Amino acid sequence: MLTYPYAGNQPPVLHKNGDQVEVPTDMFYAELSGTWDYDGDGYYGDYFGDRETEGADQYCELAVGRIPVYSSNDMTKLDKILSMAMTYEDATNTSYRQKHLIAADILNFAPLDLNGDGDTNDKGELPDPASHTYGDGWGEAVKNLTLQNGNQPFTLYEKAGLAYPDTWCNAPLTKDNLLNEWKIRSINYNFPGYTLSSSDHNI
């Protein structure tokens, strides 16, 4: 997986042998401490070679956001977005902001054979079945932080497929549950998930 600075509406493009892609991302502007082309191959943010301690370690130093307005013809749209932001900042009744949605999918399974060569001994692969990364640990940590601040967290964790965490949650992570809860909660925390093209339960 390669990453490059995001500038406008750019779709991912195939790279090298067709099974790797270049992905536009704002992380390039946020992860400032490392070298994005650590291995010097000319491909920035490469999954193999650049994700090192002194490379693009993906621990961001800045929080970067953007307003999706790319044309001077969209000034009405921009005014609406800015007006909504100011209304949010100036609100006197903020009780609704205590409703937090925490959605966590599975980031990776293990054992993990990334290049399909039949073993799990290559760089970045996971040979140990216990090395999977479920999102529930992250979700529970965020939930505890929101509870400490008097908020009302609602958790959605993966509960389908071949492997998933046993941790209790308010509801399973499904597309319908995510969309329904998103509409009634003001703050959302989302743990990135790993989705296979053959999987119909991931989001």
CB count in 10 Å sphere of residue 2: 19
Question: Would you give the end-to-end CA distance of the chain in angstroms?
Answer: 19
CA distance 44 to 28: 9
Radius of gyration in angstroms for the set of CA atoms belonging to the chain, rounded to a whole number = 20
Q: What is the mean pLDDT of residues 6-19?
A: 52
Q: What is the pLDDT of residues 35-66, one digit of tens each?
A: 888 888 887 887 777 877 888 877 888 887 77
Average pLDDT score over residue span 19-31: 74
Do residues 129 and 113 make contact, with C-beta atoms less than 8 angstroms apart?
A: no
Name which of 38-52, 83-97, 144-158, 166-180 the model is least confident about: 38-52
The pLDDT of residue 95 is above 90: no
Q: Which DSSP string corresponds to 50-74?
A: T-STTB-----SS--------SGGG
Quote the pTM value: 0.56
What is the model's pLDDT at position 129?
Answer: 75
DSSP conformational letter for 153: E
Q: How far apart are CA 67 and CA 78, in angstroms?
A: 8
* Percent of the chain clearing pLDDT 70 (strictly above): 83
pLDDT given at position 203:
43
Boundaries of every domain in the chain: 1-66, 95-191
What tokens does 33 get? Answer: 């401490």
Q: Which residue from 108, 68, 67 is spatially nearest to 191, judged by alpha carbons?
A: 108
Cβ within 8 Å of residue 201, ≥6 positions away: 158, 160, 161, 174
Amino acid at 61: E
Smallest Cα–Cα separation from 106: which of 164, 176, 184, 60?
Answer: 164
Nearest to 111 by CA among 130, 138, 87: 130
Query: Closest Cα to residue 175, out of 106, 103, 108?
Result: 103
